[in-house]
Amino acid sequence: MGPTNTVAHELESYGVRTFSAKEMAFNILGLMHPLLFSITQVEPIWADLNGGMDRLPDLAEITSRIRLSLNKKSELRCAITRDNAADYKVVNGVEAERLLQTVNVVPRANFRFDFPALETSQSLNDVSKLRGMLDLEKVIVVTGFAEVGPWGSSRTRWEMEARGEFTIEGCIEMAWMMGCIKHFDGRLKDGSLYVGWVDSKSGEPVDDKDVRGHYEKEILGHAGVRLIGMLLLSSILQLFTRCLSLFRARKFPWV
């Protein structure tokens, strides 16, 4: 009765019985009782769960009439509600009438910092053959779950690689990492309480939806892989050549 729940109440006035999902589940589970199961070992059990609908010759026509009647009632009630709201607006003003006012839903950031899934010890069976090749007491191990690169963290890097642009969350994270915004919890200059992002220079509050418009140009101008000018490249090559000659001569000023 899932698709016809709206007509179930009116349909029962024709002498039939309707069942909800829970009621039908109860009926089916009742047929699995051990007593009934023992009977099925001797003969089959026939369960009629139609509720009498099979005896209605014009069931489709009846349900259509019920739906049309319900739609007419719904349209009439909607018209009455709109008329009452208009009367209330005239008597009490536009601001007082809030039933038919349009609510602007602005996008908000939804950060999710899920912990990475840890592999089991069985996943290392393939590298067990490397056991004994290194002295683990002399091996330097760097552990952690993070990334800092030209596109910020692993989350913001993936956004640029997958979409070519930052999401609201990505813009906020990059703006925070670059010092454009900071999180604030306290009273603003006007004395009002505020919890959220503020501009690092002015201290003015910045809404989530406004971070992209205010800081995206600066973020993109100072992030990502950038080309090196010939002058800087020449200086880097000279430094590299100098280090290489010192390495070959085994003369390091820091040793």
pLDDT tier at 100, thresholds 50, 70, 90: low
Task: Provide the pLDDT for residue 101.
Answer: 67
Q: How far is CA 109 from CA 59, 112, 185, 246, in A?
A: 50, 10, 17, 52
The single-letter code of the amino acid at 55 is: R
Is residue 215 within 8 Å of 200, Cβ to Cβ?
A: no
Q: In the predicted model, is pLDDT for residue 198 greater than 90?
A: yes
User: pLDDT tens-digit profile of 133-173?
Assistant: 878 788 887 776 667 788 888 888 888 888 889 999 999 99
AA letter at 151: W
What's the pLDDT score for residue 181? 93
- The pLDDT, as a whole number, for residue 50 is 84
pTM higher than 0.75, yes or no? no
CA angle 201, 206, 160 (to 5 degrees): 95
Residues ≥6 apart with Cβ < 8 Å to 85: 97, 99, 100
| Least confident stretch, 21-25, 46-50, 129-133, 161-165 | 129-133
Segment 169-180, tens digit of pLDDT: 999 999 998 999
pLDDT beyond 90 at 199 = yes
Q: How many CB atoms lie within 10 A of CB 23?
A: 13
- Average predicted confidence (pLDDT) for the chain: 82
Quote the pLDDT of residue 21: 83
